[in-house]
Amino acid sequence: MLTVLSLLDDRLRPKGARDPLAIESIWSAVGRKLVGNLTTVTSRADHFMVALLACRYAHEGSRSRSLDDVQERYARAEQLAAYLRLEASLEASLLGRQLAVANFRRDSMALGMHKKAQILSNQLSYGLWGLYSSALQEAGLIKGSDRRLTCAGIALTDALLETFGLSQWQRFGELATQGAVRKEQLSQLARRFAALLNDQGMRKKLVSALLRYAGARPLQVALYEAVQHWLAVSAEPSASVRSFARWAVDAHQVDAQVQDVLKQILLLQPVLVFANTVVVWLQRQNGRARSELANDLHSRLGEPFLHPGWDRPGLPHAGFLRGLTDAANDGDAGQLIDQLMAQNGAVTGARGGAAWLHWEGDRLRVRVPVDRASLPENLAAHCHQAWDYSFFLHAFLSIARAEHA
């Protein structure tokens, strides 16, 4: 696997100040049963096309480029692609849109790794090189830290270039090699580039390569088949994970093992939403007495509302979730607070940091406060309506839908 930096730079936060209950490890473990390669941010088919072309350009013409040279060429290809998309009015989902649009107001846009040219604060980390490479490698389309195309990746980019046109690709290379590109050089190439990104035949090939690759686990292939059935009957304009999961658990066309994981997701999601909602609320309660907190929370619990059927062998932090579910369904607000604080202490301690929440006598002390947070009047309704965690399914549905766009 490649190391991928997220959009969040944890160096800017206090030590241990991320995901205080380790909820990400819980939902991602369940999501990986179905989706082996995509991440929460790899949800655009057109970004994958650009990333593959950037890999192609980065290595083209030489078998022995240094990593610095490969990264420089990759960045140039990504930047040029961004300006071609702006010229073709395809900027809505562009990574680095703000800087790219600002640069595009000039007559000439710099290309390269220097600060003036980059379209993100750190283009390698926060652009396609950093965010989309892991999914491409897992799918067997690239390999190595230098993002070199595999045989499968070469075959797919060959198809992309056949659709784009070899003369257009040659022109793309000529422009990417320049220190800067002028607007008047973009118009004709931009139309062809936009047509490539929107080509339905190429989208189908790309979706198949990303979701049904040779090494894909059987449940991912079965999930892909289920999504195809759903897209054929769904009238939804967007890819709703909740709607798909609810349809799939009752659909006779869907593999039983896929249904089982989706049932777990539907039952687990409210538990995770509940845990996060309450701990964020606690982060705004500095100085309050334990009895006051317990009374406020108890008034919002109502009847049992967290179904225990989410539990499966091997689930991370299952003991914490079981204790939380039992306390919520029993209406034991004090035990709920204790469960959340104990989990936070264990998680942050394992990271070498201090707990965000602790007691001084019977008063709550908050080390990492939030500015705004409140408890919903009806916690049960809130937890069953919100969909806060993706289980990687949003990205999967978005990529699959691109085949039908």
CA 203 to chain centre: 20
pLDDT at 236 over 80: no
pLDDT at 14 over 80: no
- pLDDT, one tens digit per residue, over 109-130 is 999 999 999 999 999 999 999 9
The pLDDT assigned to 368 comes to 95
Per-residue 3-state assignment (H helix, E strand, C coil) for 155-205: HHHHHHHHHHCHHHHHHHHHHHHCCEEEHHHCHHHHHHHHHHHHCHHHHHH
CB neighbours (10 Å) of residue 205?
Answer: 17
The pLDDT assigned to 79 comes to 97
The pLDDT assigned to 257 comes to 98
Burial class (CB in 10 A: 0-12, 13-18, 19+), 371: exposed
Q: Is there a contact between 6 and 19 (Cβ–Cβ < 8 Å)?
A: no
Of the pLDDT bands very low, low, confident and very high (cuts 50, 70, 90), residue 1 is very low
- pLDDT, one tens digit per residue, over 141-191 is 999 999 999 999 999 999 999 999 999 999 999 999 999 999 999 999 999
| Rounded alpha-carbon distances, angstroms, from residue 184 to 79, 103, 111, 218 | 16, 15, 16, 49
Q: Is there a contact between 311 and 321 (Cβ–Cβ < 8 Å)?
A: yes
- pLDDT, one tens digit per residue, over 179-227 is 999 999 999 999 999 999 999 999 999 999 999 999 999 999 999 999 9
Distance CA 156, CA 310 (A): 40
Q: What is the mean pLDDT of residues 73-84?
A: 97
pLDDT at 39 over 70: yes
- Radius of gyration, alpha carbons of the chain: 24
Rounded (10°) angle between helices 67-87 and 45-59: 140
For the chain, give every domain's residue range: 37-215, 264-385
Q: What is the mean pLDDT of residues 379-400?
A: 94
pLDDT at 5 over 50: no
Identify the DSSP state of 7: S
Q: What does 139-154 look like in DSSP terms, one character per residue? A: TTSEETTTTEE-HHHH
Q: Is there a contact between 48 and 132 (Cβ–Cβ < 8 Å)?
A: yes
Q: Give the phi and the psi of residue 309 in degrees, each rounded to 5.
A: -70, 0
